[in-house]
Structure 1
Amino acid sequence: MDFLKVFTGAFVAFVQLFPYAVGASSWGYFGSDGPSHWSDVSATCGMSSQSPINIVSIDTIMSSMDAFTLSKFDTTTGLSLNMVNNGHTAQLNIDGAAVKVSGGGLTADYNTAQLHFHWGKTDAEGSEHTVDGTRFPMEMHIVNYRATYTSVSDAAGHSDGLAVLGFFFEIGNTSHPGIQKIVDVLSSITDAGTNTTVTPFMLNELLPSSLDNFYRYSGSLTTPNCNEVVTWSVFPQSIKITSSQMAVFRTLQSVEQNDDGNHNMYNNYRPVQAMGSRKLYANFNPNAGARPSVHLSLSLLALLSCILSRMF
């Protein structure tokens, strides 16, 4: 009986650490396990309010949503951080210190549970969301669950359960000091299913300098079971990262074999999904100061040419 208890406890701990170990081949990002087959894993993945999306600037509806309030993002007191390679991404689990988000048009407080990343094989791809068709080399998701629920898994069963903050990365020439704190521990979680304790640091070190502007829409988790329970906030101000920092993410090992025949983790992003009848909001004007399109400029030039030809 004691042996059974020990075995059961060890198995539960293993599943909690590596949630994709059981049935790990049922979904992935390549081949017959790729995103086009996810609806076979979960019918929800084929529904009409899925994420990510292509954010089309001219389709946004202006909204007066207020700024976000991030609680305990500026402290390490009572904070516990653990970095996990769960076989599909690098995930930083966040515990303690009452870390939470509110405001930003949300109707309640949301506890911060974890953040994770999606990246590409090259610096030309990797983000899940796109903006006017432009894809970024990496995207970070900060996952928060409504405080009235007990956990992310509990909240995933409720339509108002999750609020996810999405941030884009762009290649720059200077190493980002906040992201470097993530990069520094990736070598400790190279293999799928491994984890390491991270020396606490202030979470706002990972964020862009301003959180004033953001897009908002209703969508889903971007991995199976694709629950349509997410209030998405995607921030246009990017975070800079160097090519060498990006390269370290690609050294992580995935549970699945990629198209190159190895297990290097990359292209762990879902293609954009149809917007359908959903509305896209923004608390700023993304088209302010936009230049006329090339087609419009050529049309004006042709009209001016026609007028001049008739005058002379």
Structure 2
Amino acid sequence: MDFLKVFAVALVAFVQLFPSAIGASSWGYFGSDGPSHWADVSATCGMSSQSPINIIPTDTLMSSMDAFTLTKFDTTTGLSLNIVNNGHTGILLGQRSKCPGGGLTGDYNTAQLHFHWGKTDAEGSEHTVDGTRFPMEMHIVNYKSSYASVSDAAGHSDGLAVLGFFFEIGDTSHPGIQKIVDALSSITVSGSNTTVTAFNLNELLPSSFSEFYRYSGSLTTPTCNEVVTWSVFPQTIKITSTQMDVFRTLQSEEQNDDGNHNMFNNYRPVQAMGSRKLYANFNPNAGARPSVHLSLSLLALLSCILSRMF
């Protein structure tokens, strides 16, 4: 299958999964089209198992989930990549890879990856950790290989598995992100796309990502299907402020709060956790500072010992 056919198939699959993603839409991130109105677009967006969430490490339950084994993320063989400005984000399409493991049942095929970012480096991620936002979050969207397509998988409770990675500002960046940044100038206009020189997708990921949080949730854009098994990784990917600024040059059809069409703050506010459980395959509180109550107890014990000594 040549490149154009690969891209066409991937793009059709994406539109099927996100039916209002290309061109004009009735949802957005600002004003009357913003997240507080999404339930008017799709009733599912107002349900009780929505994403993203605020991850509270002290609320996690330990689980023995194994690490992911991302296949074909370390090769460029047979890999054609295309990046698209869909008016809401930048999406990388064309991966022929899988993400088995991670405590998931069955294999999942990688469909696409995309980004959410803020107006400034102080915000942008969809998930938060103890209320803290990161400047950008990357989502790798995978669908269960036992289903016929991405759109088919979106209709099943175990259909999708999304891997979420946070970006953190640093003096140097991870190798792969510059290759994405270099392509952004070619997709400034909403609806545009360009070919990206194939590179190992591992170059976009942290050097180690065996630890993750896990919960059941939804897509973070309409139609907000509650069919996503989320894995959110605590180890960050480095990016520079200069590189972040390039993401903000993408244009949306939606007018932002500044009165222009620069794409930023394309993240959904955190949703209520409700009765859902948050798991981790590591101890997120290892090495944490003692609580105030524990510290006071230790001080009281020390005071008692000293009083007996003197």
Above 0.5 in TM-score? yes
Q: Within the alignment, does 1:74 sit opposite 2:79 as a pair? A: no
What's the CA shift for 1:38?
Answer: 0.4
Give the TM-score, by structure 1 length. Answer: 0.89
Q: CA deviation at 1:154?
A: 1.6
- 1:94, distance to aligned residue in structure 2 (A): 2.0
8 A contact 1:214–1:236 mirrored in 2 = yes
- Equivalent residue, structure 2, for 1:48: 48
Q: Which letter does structure 2 place at the counterpart of 1:46?
A: G
* Conservation of the 8 A alpha-carbon contact between 1:220 and 1:230: yes
Is the Cα contact below 8 Å between 2:21 and 2:88 reproduced in 1? Answer: no
What is aligned with 1:280? 278
Q: Gaps (5+ residues) in structure 1?
A: 1-8
CA contact (8 A) 1:176 1:242 kept: no
Task: Give the superposition deviation at 1:152.
Answer: 1.7
Query: Structure 2: which 5+ residue stretches go unaligned?
Result: 1-7
Aligned to 1:191: 189
Look up the SS of the partner of 1:180 in the other structure. helix
- The two structures have a TM-score, normalised by structure 2, of 0.90
- Check the 8 A contact 1:20/1:86 in 2, yes or no: no
Percent of pairs with identical residues: 80
Q: Which amino acid is the alignment partner of residue 54 of structure 1?
A: N
For the residue of structure 1 that corresponds to 2:142, the secondary structure is: strand
| Distance in 1 between residues matched to 2:255 and 2:272, nearest whole Å | 28
Matches within 5 A, 1:54-65: 54-65=54-65
After the TM superposition, which segments of 4 or more aligned residues of structure 1 sit over 6 Å from their partners?
308-312
Partner in structure 1 of residue 33 of structure 2: 33
Pairing 1:14-25 to 2, within 5 Å after superposition: 20=20, 24-25=24-25
Shift of 1:300: 4.5
2-structure distance, mates of 1:129, 1:180? 23
Q: In 1, are the aligned partners of 2:68 and 2:99 still within 8 Å (CA)? A: yes
Distance 2:236 2:60 in 1: 19
5 Å-filtered alignment, 1:82-231, equals 82-95=82-95, 98-231=96-229
Tell me the alpha carbon deviations over residues 273-308 of structure 1, each in whole angstroms, 9 at most, x when there is no partner.
000111111100000110024x43774587479869
Structure 2 CA distance for aligned equivalents of residues 129 and 99 of structure 1: 25
Q: Which amino acid aligns with 1:165?
A: L
> What CA distance in whole angstroms lies between the structure 2 residues aligned with 1:262 and 1:153?
33
Deviations 1:30-78 (A, max 9, x none): 0010000000000000001000000110111100001111110011111
CA RMSD of aligned residues (A): 2.4
CA contact (8 A) 1:252 1:265 kept: yes
Q: Distance in 2 between matches of 1:307 and 1:246?
A: 55
Describe the shift of the 1:179–1:21 C-alpha distance in structure 2 as closer, same or farther (beyond 3 A): closer
Name the CA distance, whole Å, in 1 between partners of 2:299 and 2:288. 21
Query: Secondary structure, in 3 states, of the residue corresponding to 2:283?
Result: coil
Contact preservation (8 Å) 1:20, 1:87: no
Write the deviation string for residues 238-268 of structure 1: whole angstroms up to 9, x where unpaired: 0010000000000000120000000000000
Partner of 2:3: none
Q: Is the 8 A contact 2:94 2:112 kept in 1?
A: yes
